[in-house]
Amino acid sequence: MKKRIVYISGSRADFGRIMCLLNLLDKSDEFNLEIIVTGMHLSMEFGNTTKEIERHFHINEKVDALLSGDSASAMAKSFGIAVIGISQALERIKPDMVILLGDRGEMLAGAIAAKHQNILISHIGGGDKSGSIDDKIRDAITVFSDFHFVANRKTLNRVLSLGAKAENSFIVGAPDLDVIRQKEYTPIKELRNKYHIDPDKPLVLVSYHPVTNEELKNAKNMNILCESLLEMEVPCIITYPNADAGGRQMIDILNKYKNNKYFSIYPHISYTDYLGLMSIATAICGNSSAGIIEAPSFQLPTVNIGSRQKERLRAINVIDVCELKDEIIKALNIAIYDKKYRENLKECVNPYGNGMTSEYIYSHLKKFFNRDAN
């Protein structure tokens, strides 16, 4: 019989990164893929991105768990609701394994729900350190998990230090790079028409998210970033921040600039569009992991702001700055206009793998279940 594998998706970010592996599982003769969606996917405020998933896969369960509050308390309450809803969904599906990606609360809720039902857990992306509460969530998922698929030697050592079994821990790279290697992102001509991009002007892609342990500063820092970008007088495509505490205050700041001629603001951009935009952007700016993990594959300069990614492994494309206007503007000028700096990025090597992560994970899963059957 085919083994039943569940993937839990809580946001546009994790779904886009895992698509190549989901495709392999969905087409497999050995596995039945089932998908539970929760979190931001089910919120109209963040683009109701279940539609994006349904263009590719069948959704088996929807767990509506995201409260509309903008506080740390609302995050914790949403987490509790997710544990209950995902537990009920897993009880109905009865999978052989749950796959979790990354470090968001929905994934930890899935880990708790699965482990209490004695369901095997595979975790992708453990061992990273970014320097925020995400580290604690990511490490907690590692502790709950049975199998660990990590990006590099450094992250392998960390999951082993947390008690992971060496025989169940594998260096596979980051799945984010698989779509890039396969060039399965939106074509440039389509992007230019869709987002009204002038090919003769610089383009800055901006993704700036709340730092959950700096809740009172998030709106202020978003305003500093917007004012810095305005002084550059270059076109910017800006995505909404995620739904963590402080995110809605940041959205309110963004909306004050929505009529500015340099800013194009979007609640949601699909992952394939986002990668396509990275392929033609002049620079990426903010504090998203995309600037750290995906951007090196495009030799794309990253102006990384603040502490959210401070401990994550970097390539040479990253310019780190504090939440200060002068620093941000200086770094953007280097990223956009410094010819020597941009020339050096042609030698940029991505430390997160070779774009074969999905194939590696799929192979390990097959070996495990075949071994288990024997």
Give me the pLDDT at residue 126, please.
96
Residues near 76 by beta carbon (within 8 Å), at least 6 away in sequence: none
Give counts: helices (H), strands (E), the chain.
15, 13
Burial 38-52 (b: 16+ CB within 10 A, else e): bbbbbbeebbebbeb
Q: How confident is the model at residue 275 (pLDDT cuts 50, 70, 90)?
A: very high
Rounded to whole angstroms, how far apart are CA atoms 260 and 226?
11
Give me the pLDDT at residue 374, please.
58
Give me the pLDDT at residue 372, please.
65
Do 105 and 65 contact (CB within 8 A), yes or no?
Answer: no
Per the model's pLDDT, the better-predicted residue between 215 and 269 turns out to be: 269
Average pLDDT over residues 163-191: 94
Residues near 128 by beta carbon (within 8 Å), at least 6 away in sequence: 103, 135, 138, 151, 155, 158, 312, 313
| Tens digit of each residue's pLDDT (9 = 90 or more) over 347-374 | 999 999 999 999 999 999 999 998 766 5
The answer to which of 208-212, 241-245, 311-315 has the lowest mean pLDDT is 241-245
Rounded to whole angstroms, how far apart are CA atoms 268 and 13?
10
Residue 111 pLDDT more than 90?
A: yes
- Give the phi and the psi of residue 34 in degrees, each rounded to 5: -130, 145
Give me the pLDDT at residue 99, please.
98
Amino acid (one-letter) located at 55: R
Give me the pLDDT at residue 13, please.
79
Give me the pLDDT at residue 184, please.
84
| Tens digit of each residue's pLDDT (9 = 90 or more) over 40-98 | 887 767 667 888 889 899 999 999 887 766 677 877 888 899 999 999 999 999 999 99
Q: Is the dihedral angle over the CA atoms 235, 254, 43, 102 positive or is it negative?
A: positive
Do 305 and 286 contact (CB within 8 A), yes or no?
Answer: yes
Rounded to whole angstroms, how far apart are CA atoms 119 and 128?
24
- Percentage of the chain surpassing pLDDT 70? 97
The answer to which of 17-26, 65-74, 232-241, 290-299 has the lowest mean pLDDT is 65-74
Average pLDDT over residues 25-49: 87
Q: What is the DSSP letter of 364?
A: H
Mean pLDDT computed over every residue of the chain: 93
| Tens digit of each residue's pLDDT (9 = 90 or more) over 8-18 | 998 877 898 99
Dihedral in degrees, nearest 10, Cα atoms 77, 132, 18, 72:
20
Give me the pLDDT at residue 373, please.
63
Candidates 354, 333, 340, 228; CA nearest to 282 is: 333
Which domains are assigned to the chain? Answer: 3-174+353-373 (3.40.50.2000), 188-347 (3.40.50.2000)
Greatest CA separation for the chain: 65
DSSP calls for 235-260: -EEEEPP-SSTTHHHHHHHHHTTTT-
- Percentage of the chain surpassing pLDDT 90? 76
Listed in sequence order, the DSSP H helices in the chain are 12-26, 50-54, 72-93, 105-116, 133-144, 153-161, 176-181, 188-194, 218-232, 247-255, 271-280, 290-293, 325-337, 339-344, 357-373
